[in-house]
Every structure is written in C-alpha cells, then in structure tokens.
Amino acid sequence: MASLLLSAAPMRRHVGLVAGALFLAALLLASWFLPLPYDPIRPDATATLQPPSAQHWFGTDSVGFDVFSRTIAAAGRDLPIAFGGALAAALIGVFLGLLATTKGRGSALLMRSLDAFQAFPLLVLAIAIVTLTGNRLEMVMFAIIIIEAPRFLRLVRAEGLAIREARFIEAAEVIGAKPLRVLLVHLLPNVSGVIAVQLSIATASSLMVVAALSFLGIGVSPPDPSWGAMIQAGARQMTGGQWWVALFPGLAIFLVVVCLNLVADALDVILERSSR
Amino acid sequence: MSTTNTEAGDAPSPASTELMAPAVGAPRRRRAFWGLVAKRLAFIPLALFAVITISFLLVSIMPGDPALAILGSTANEQEVATVRSQLGLDRPLAERYVTYVGGVLQGDFGRSFFTGQPIRDEIVKYLPASIELVVMAILLAALVGISIGTLAGYCRGRAPDKAVRVVIAGLEAIPGFLAGLLLIFAFFYLWRLVPSPTGRLGIVNIYPPTVTHFLLIDLILAGDWNGLRSTLHRSMLPVLTLALAAIPLFAKITRTTVGGAMGSKQIQYARACGLSEWRVVQYALLQARTPILTYTAMLFGAMVGGSAIIETIFSWQGLGQWGLKAIVALDIPAIQGFVIVTGFCTMLVYLVLDLVVAALDPRIQHG
C-alpha cells in the first residue's frame, strides 16, 4: 500500500505541472492567435446583456461586448503584466537577497526597513502608487515589483544564509574566490529551485493585484479588455441576476491562479526530490 | 498508530508545557517581561515618526498634480497656479514637511481638498466601522480556519487533509471582490436571504446617537435591538467575504504547525501517558498558538485598509472605502491621514502581538 502511494505521488506531481503549464500556454496562445468570434473592443449595441447562447458563448455585457471574446483577449494583457512584474521583482529581489546574505550591518538594517514597509496594506500602497503617478500601465508593473520583490528578498536571504554555512562555500572563500563570485557561482544555483517556485506563486499573486487594480479602474484604458475591469462591468449586474458578465472573467482568474499554484506545488516537490 | 482512548484522570499536569519549561525562574521572567514592555513602548514614538514621514514623502514626491486633479485637464495655467498656492503646494518641500509633522503631532491632519472637512473628524467617523468589520471577519476566519486546519493537520495525508487542501487552494484562487459579488448573487438575488448590499443599516432604521462611533456598540447602548438585528443581518455578507480571504491563511498555518506537532516528542509522551486523543489535539494546538497569533496580527494589519475593495462593494462606509476614494481623487491630506492611521494600527497590533506572545510562550527569552 505504502509503496504504491510512493510510486504514484511523483507521477501525480508531474501531471499537475504539465496540466497547469499546458492550460496557461493554451490560454496565452489563444489570446494571441485564436480568431475570436467577435471583436473584443467593438461592442454590438443591438445585443446587450444577452445570456450565454450558441451565438454568445459567455453572453454579452450591458454595452454589448461579447464576454467570451473579451475573456480570451484579456489573457493577452493580464498574464504578461503579471508575469513580467513577477519576473522583474524576482530579478531585483534575488539580487538584493543575495547581497543581504553577507552578514553586514546593512543587511540587518535592510531587513528592519522591510519589516516597516510591509506593515502597510500592500494593495492600498499599490493603488496609491499607480494613481499618484498618473494611472499608467507600466506603473502597475512597478507596483507589483514593490509588493513582490521583498518576498523574493526574504526567501533568498533565508535560504542563502543556511547554505552559506556549508563547507563548499567556506572552501571557495578559502581558495580566494571573490565575494561576488561566491554569490553568483556557488550560492545562486543552490537557491534557484526556491526562486522558480516563488516565481510561480508571485505570478499568481501579481495577477490578483492586476485584477484588483483594474477592478477599481486603475491602470486600464477603457476599451481594452482586462479581467478585473470586466468583473467591475458585471458587478452592477449581479444584483439584477445577470451573473455571466462577471462570472466568466472571474473564472478565468480562478483557473489561472489554480494552475500557477499547481505548477508551484509540483516544482516544489520535484526540486526538493532531486536535491536530495 | 493505535492509541487507547482512556481518559487519564491521574495525569493532570500539562505534559507539553512542562517539557518546554524555561530554565529561568518565574520572578526573573516576569521582570524581564516588563522590561520588554517598556522597551517596546519606548519604540512607539520613533516608529510613529517614521510612519508620518513615509506618508508625507509617499504623497509629496510622487508625480501627479492634485491641483490638476481638482480642476480637471481643461484648466489653464493661471487657475492651476492659484489652486496650488491655495493648497500650499507652492511652498518648498521642507517647509511643508515641518508644518505637516507639527500639525499631526497636535492631532491636526489638515482638511480634505474636496469636502473641506477636517481629516481627523473623517478618520474618527470611518475607522470604527472598519475595525468592526475586520474584527468580525477575523473571528469568523479564525474559528473556521483553525478548525479545518487542525482537522487536516491531525489527519495528515488522509482524506480529510486532502479535502481541506482542495478547499484552501480553491479559496486562495478567488479574488475577494469576486467572492463578494458571487455571494451577493447567491444570497441576495437568488435566495433573498440578505438585504441589498447598500450600507450598514436599513432605510427604516435610524442611526443611534453617536457615543463610541462603533455602530454595533452604539446600537446596544441605545437599546435599539431591531437596529442591531438589521445591522448584523447586513454585516453577514461583507464579513463572510472578508473571512473567506483569511480562512486559507489560518487553515494553512494551523495545518502545518499542528501537523508538525503531532509528530513531536511532547505528543508521543502525551499519548504514552494514555491521554485521550482530544487532549492530545489540545496540546498540539497549544504548540501551534504562537504562529497562529502571529498570522492573526499580520492579517489584522493587512485588513484595516486592505478591506477597501470589499467595503466599497458593500458600501460599508469604513476607512478603507474612504481611503480608496481619497486616493482616486488625489485628495492628498486624506491619503496622508489614511496611510498614517493604517500604518499606526498595524504597529499597535504588532506591539500587542509581541507582548501577548512573550507573555504566553515560555520558550521566548526576554531582555
């Protein structure tokens, strides 16, 4: 019984990884290349608030936008922002995190100021940053970096400090490797696994931030489709019973986040296993 | 592992705490604890000063012209210059900083650019509503989250654990505002179980005389039981929505710590003593106490102000909704006040947390 479970577990993890990654790739490719049934930025004023049907798979909203076309098209906007923001945050956070493993006084100061910084409600901070800087899309990325980079920093620092105690680091230092070389050649490869896992988690949480911001109408320019903005458009319809306007973009967010977390879980297990 | 479920009346002393008993004597511990309290209290003014400075810089250094936001993009340069000088924005940064800090220390946060109301009055009006919402949501989330987390941690790897993990993963993937809308659709539109999501009190109810600014407490003080029932009824969906976001966090941390504790020496010992499984779980929870408290404080800090979107959906009229409106309108004094209050709330919660943990956990050395 136990041996059966053991052999099945890694298989299941790979299934999670493959399924999650495939869904995300399919969604992204569809948003770029799939011929959509309707123009996602041109509403049909004669067909407003249609329930889901053969013509409009996900129905239409109060302006006459086809919800299916917009849900797919929005993936091409929301996913790259979320992933790009998470990636940029990873680069910055990992770099600073590696530096912070050197046990200088600056390192402690950095961690203390991070504590203070993270005491603020981060979503509100993101909203403030984007609004105060003129509501531009690139500022959404900047806000994501500010939220996510400290998490990478903490993670890499915590992992790095543990690895720093290892003999091979000591050996490298003894034979005269420069500090930067120790960080990049010896430390970085050993934390790359946790970084990959965190990147997947950070993309999911960035997507939530992007959705929350565009739900509030921040960082979006109106006709362009975005899941958050679409849910906002459907918010008023919820009390009137037209559930489809908000549900389908919401479902898209839900599925993407689930897939990203699946990938993160699978990576976690696989990398943990191979490192042992 | 098979354990006998006999109630052990002859083993009253809590095994786990005894195993963790500190080497330091009790009086010394107590003195060290009050030392910690004094130290942390002394730190407060410094941290408060930092929060005020951050809030000032956050808003003052960022590009974006509030004068333009007030007038709209059609205004000419003359008008913009006039408004800027009215707002005091034409003065140098250092001068504005000194004026602002001086004002805040006297409890004067300035006046709203738009409504002209003193910011302090608005904070006093809106903050209690947010606190009520967050406290109710955290209590609910803690109850549900800790329960299912304990279940999962106890049954690690078996069916209940897997079910809880699916629930956690699902809840984590739903944005709060979407959960709110879906709940409105189901409970208000489909089943008509709750009133429409518009504010805290029904139209027929009148607001009680303001005593504490906490609506629930004021209603109780006024003896308005109908009003109280109406308010609680209207609180159900917002509280549930906010709690749904916090349940996974409570469940995850409880599952991990209880799961870890179940394999610990203390639990082995408790079982070897023949304690009932119910007792054993209690000891496991005792070990999970500190991480759970830490998470509660973090959540509380994140939610005061972080509940802005939920408050807006349900027209809760709390601090978050007010702050969000201020941010979108570029109402600088309001934004600064909002940042200071949320930052200060978080600091206070962390302080209380540190002290509670220090008082409860004998493993933590003070000094």
Please give, one letter per residue, the 3-state secondary structure of B221-256. HHCCHHHHHHHHHHHHHHHHHHHHHHHHHHHHHHHH
Residues of chain A with C-beta less than 8 angstroms from the C-beta of B181: 231, 234-235, 238, 246, 250
Provide the pLDDT for residue B362: 67
Checking if the pLDDT of B146 tops 90, the result is yes
Name which of A4, A118, A124 to mutate to probe chain B: the one with the most chain B Cβ atoms within 10 A of its Cβ: A124
Q: Tell me if A132 and B302 make a contact (CB, 8 A cut-off).
A: no
Provide the pLDDT for residue A144: 92
Residues of chain B with C-beta less than 8 angstroms from the C-beta of A204: 173
The larger pLDDT score, comparing residue B306 to residue B230, is at: B230
The nearest alpha carbon in chain A to B347 belongs to A119
Domains of chain B in sequence order:
120-330 (1.10.3720.10)
Q: Which of B64, B173, B178 has its CB closest to that of A261? A: B173
Provide the pLDDT for residue A223: 79
Provide the pLDDT for residue A266: 87
Query: Smallest CA–CA separation between A223 and chain B, in Å?
Result: 20
CB contact residues (below 8 A), chain B span 273-332, against chain A: 301-306, 308-309, 312-313, 320, 323-324, 327-328, 330
If you average pLDDT over residues A200-225, what whole number do you get?
88
Lowest mean pLDDT among A12-16, A24-28, B10-14, B288-292: B10-14
Provide the pLDDT for residue B95: 84
If you average pLDDT over residues A34-47, what whole number do you get?
82
In this predicted complex, what is the ipTM?
0.82
DSSP code string of chain A: -HHHHHHHHHHHHHHHHHHHHHHHHHHHHHHHHS--SS-TTS--TTS-SPPS-SSSTT-B-TT--BHHHHHHHHHHHHHHHHHHHHHHHHHHHHHHHHHTTS--HHHHHHHHHHHHHHTS-HHHHHHHHHHHTTS-HHHHHHHHHHHHHHHHHHHHHHHHHHHHTSHHHHHHHHTT--HHHIIIIIIHHHHHHHHHHHHHHHHHHHHHHHHHHHHTT-S--TTS--HHHHHHHHHHHHTTT-THHHHHHHHHHHHHHHHHHHHHHHHHHHHHHHH-
* pLDDT (tens digit per residue) in B231-255: 888 899 999 999 999 999 999 999 9
* pLDDT (tens digit per residue) in B62-111: 666 667 766 766 777 787 788 777 777 777 888 888 888 888 888 888 88
Checking if the pLDDT of B367 tops 50, the result is no
A116-120, A192-196, B135-139, B358-362 — which one is most confidently predicted on average? Answer: B135-139
Helix axis angle, A227-238 relative to A244-275, nearest 10°? 140
Sorting pLDDT into bands at 50, 70 and 90, what band is B135?
very high
Task: Give me chain A's average pLDDT, please.
Answer: 84
Query: Smallest CA–CA separation between A45 and chain B, in Å?
Result: 25
Provide the pLDDT for residue B26: 62
Sorting pLDDT into bands at 50, 70 and 90, what band is A7?
very low
Instruction: Decide if B186 touches A, using CB distance below 8 A.
Output: no
Checking if the pLDDT of B14 tops 50, the result is no
Provide the pLDDT for residue B17: 40
Checking if the pLDDT of B39 tops 90, the result is no
If you average pLDDT over residues A140-162, what whole number do you get?
89
The larger pLDDT score, comparing residue A114 to residue B16, is at: A114
CB contact residues (below 8 A), chain B span 37-76, against chain A: 47, 50, 54, 58-59, 62-64
* pLDDT (tens digit per residue) in A99-144: 888 766 677 777 777 776 766 677 777 888 888 777 778 889 999 9
Sorting pLDDT into bands at 50, 70 and 90, what band is A1?
very low
Reported residue count of chain A is: 276
- pTM for the model stands at 0.83
Provide the pLDDT for residue A104: 66
Q: Which of A121, A234, A254 has its CB closest to that of B306? A: A121
Query: Smallest CA–CA separation between B297 and chain A, in Å?
Result: 10
Judge contact between A183 and A101, C-beta under 8 A: yes
Instruction: Decide if B171 touches A, using CB distance below 8 A.
Output: no
Task: Note the maximum CA span of chain A.
Answer: 76
Residues of chain B with C-beta less than 8 angstroms from the C-beta of A246: 178, 181
Instruction: Decide if B178 touches A, using CB distance below 8 A.
Output: yes
- % of chain A with per-residue pLDDT over 90: 29
Residues of chain B with C-beta less than 8 angstroms from the C-beta of A203: none
Lowest mean pLDDT among B68-72, B196-200, B268-272, B342-346: B68-72
Q: Which residues of A touch B (CB under 8 A)?
A: 116, 119-124, 127-129, 131-134, 204, 208, 211-212, 215-216, 218, 228, 231, 234-235, 238-241, 243, 246-247, 250, 253-255, 257-258, 261
Checking if the pLDDT of B22 tops 60, the result is no
Task: Note the maximum CA span of chain B.
Answer: 87
Query: Smallest CA–CA separation between B113 and chain A, in Å?
Result: 15
* pLDDT (tens digit per residue) in A215-262: 988 887 777 889 999 999 888 888 888 889 899 999 999 999 999 998
The larger pLDDT score, comparing residue B192 to residue B16, is at: B192
| Inter-chain contacts counted by CB atoms under 8 A, chains A and B | 128
The larger pLDDT score, comparing residue B269 to residue B113, is at: B269
Provide the pLDDT for residue A210: 92
Task: Give me chain B's average pLDDT, please.
Answer: 81
Checking if the pLDDT of A59 tops 50, the result is yes
Provide the pLDDT for residue A99: 85
The nearest alpha carbon in chain A to B54 belongs to A117
